[in-house]
Structure 1
Amino acid sequence: MSAIRLLVLGAVRQHGRAHGYMVRNDLEFWGAHEWSNAKPGSIYHALKQLAKQELLTAHTTSPSPDGGPPRTEYELTGTGEEEFLRLLRHALTAIDEKPDVLTSAVGFIVDLPRAEAIALLRARVAALRAWRAEVDAHWSPGGPTAPELGHIGEIMDLWVHTSDSAAAWTEGLITRLEEGRYVMAGEGEREADVLPEGTANPYADGHSHRIEVIAEPAGVRRVRVTLRGTEIADSARPLLLTETGYPDRYYLPPEDVRTAELVESERRTHCPFKGDARYWAPRGTPDHEIAWSYPSPKPLVAAVRDHLCFCESDDVRIEILPN
Structure 2
Amino acid sequence: MVRDGTGAGTGGSGDEDAAEVFEEHRPVLLSVAYRMLGRVADAEDVVQETWLRWYAADRPAVREPRAYLVRAATRLAVDRLRRIHARREAYVGPWLPEPLVTDYVRTVPDGTERVLLAESVSLAVLVVLESLSPLERTVFVLREAFGLPYGEIAGTLDRSEAAVRQLAVRARRHVAERVPRFDVDPAQRRKLTERFLAAALEGDLEGLLALLASDARLVGDGGGRAKAPLRTILGADKVARFTVAVIRTPVRDLEIVPLEVNGGPALLATAGGRPYAVLALETAGGLIHSVHLISNPDKLAHLAPPVRPVRPMP
TM-score, structure 2 normalization: 0.30
Which one has a bigger Cα radius of gyration?
A: 1
Relative to its length, the structure with more strand (as a share) is 1
Relative to its length, the structure with more helix (as a share) is 2
